[in-house]
Amino acid sequence: MALSSALTFTQNLNGITGRITDSTPDYGIGGNPLRGDSANYLLYSTNATNGQRTYYNISTSLPLSQLAWDVSTDIMGWTQATLLRIQIWSGANNYLEEQEDGNGIITEYASIVYYGNTDKVYKAIQDNVSIAPDDPGGDDYWEEVSDLTELVGYESVSQFTEDFQIDVNINKCVTKGFINIYNSCGCNPDNSKLEPAIKNWALYMAATANFQNEAPEKMDAIIEHLDKVCKTCS
């Protein structure tokens, strides 16, 4: 039975920070591994419209138990969180180095492990059994993975990615447009002010609809436009 991986996002109302939670419901159920059977790390990025990821520096202080990470949300739009689940080093396991074919295509992905004595992640650079990264000569068999973003898409690492729409500032902005109209005009609004407010709200609804229809790049383009509008009008 595979884990039903899930990540959820909660935006703080200040629009600056949020929290991503590993809400996987079935750790330790139906033969699934317990949460502490792997070292979990979170990667968090903003995404350009073309899908290029720009990563934030996210702290994982307790990789064997941590279930929540605080993230910056100062940039609105399309973001992604990737949860890496990395096996714990064991002296009983065989570990393999990476293999490539003649065209430089990986045919065997290297073993990636978390080693508790050093609290670090390592990649096998030679096949080995029972050789720990901090053993004498261990650095002939293991190299530290200091940049975990290199493991995105790496097939020997279990991973799960979730898209998010970050828009708390945009929501506040487009809502404020209607509030300002009512405060100044009551129930007889000035059409010259009402029309742009309706347009911005419609664009915001379009952004959300695109995200829900699995078109995050379209959502991101709309949110980027609205962010500029809101900054101009604020």
- Cα angle 165, 49, 230; round to 5: 60
Question: Is the predicted pLDDT of residue 107 greater than 70, yes or no?
Answer: yes
Quick check: 124 and 99 in contact, CB under 8 A? no
Question: Could you tell me the residue ranges of all domains in the chain?
Answer: 7-87+150-166, 94-147, 168-233
pLDDT score, position 134? 98
Q: What are 168-219's pLDDT values in tens digits? A: 888 888 888 777 765 665 555 566 677 888 898 999 999 999 999 999 999 9
DSSP SS3 for 44: strand
CATH tag for 7-87+150-166 (out of 2.60.40, 1.10.287, 1.10.1060, 2.40.50)? 2.60.40
Write down the pTM of the prediction: 0.88
The helix (run of H) or strand (run of E) holding residue 168 is helix 168-185
